[in-house]
Amino acid sequence: MGEQRAVVTGASSGIGAATVRRLRAEGFEVLAVARRADRLQALAAETGCSALTADLTDQADVDALRAAVEDRFGGDLTALVNNAGGAFGTDTVEGAKAEDWQRMFDVNVLATLRTTQALLPALRAGRGGDVLVMSSTAARIVYEGGGGYTAAKHAESAIAETLRLELAGDPVRVLEVAPGMVRTEEFSLNRTGGDAARAEAVYAGVREPLVAEDVADCVAWMLTRPRHVNVDLLVVRPLAQAAQHKVVREQD
């Protein structure tokens, strides 16, 4: 398939780190981007990826990412995996903290917007490239206590759907992965403000929730399809989760 070059955001843990590992195994050159330098350095030592410490809610750091792609890849990019994001809080709409919603829109929506805008010229270069958006099943349906996160993920999905229309005729594919329940080391812990018991309860009794490597497998498959194949949306859940509100939980 020739030389493949990818940027993966939110690469310091979870799905992002797993995606870096998987794409490296597929032969991609990878620039891993995240805020935590120590974790990125460890990932680079493990996989041979390049690393850039950046906060993608800061336009100056996004500009630095664009410059890094120019410097390291000659401005020719195969794929941008917009994985950075997260959920903060489980409050009702009535009791929600506006700052939690702001943070979720900053990291899920505006970071995806800024990064995509910055790297589209590099994705158009050469034979063309891919914009992949890591959304969620929360981008398809809402649920109690998830108003802020579902609103942000709906908005992020709207970026992907709109961009696909706007780029029709360009050599750029726009792909979206919408995972359901994925057990990672940090997602639920961050959402519950560090409450380990509440975070663990999310997965209680669920036989084999997805893990980060499952989602990374989906990402790699989508990115390595022939160029004429555009996987618009891939929804992936564990077998135990038939829908957002339908989860089989086994009793001890």
Q: Pick the catalytic residue: 28, 149, 187, 203?
A: 149
Can 149 be counted among the known catalytic residues?
A: yes
Residues 44 and 50: their CA atoms lie apart, in Å, by 6
CB atoms < 10 A from the CB of 245, how many? 9
What are the φ/ψ torsions at residue 93 (nearest 5 degrees)? -60, -45
Distance from C-alpha of 52 to C-alpha of 32, rounded to nearest angstrom:
6
* CB-neighbour burial class of residue 55 (10 A; exposed 0-12, middle 13-18, buried 19+): middle
Task: Locate 251 and state its tokens.
Answer: 């009793």
The terminus-to-terminus CA distance of the chain in angstroms comes to 49
Residues forming the active site? 149
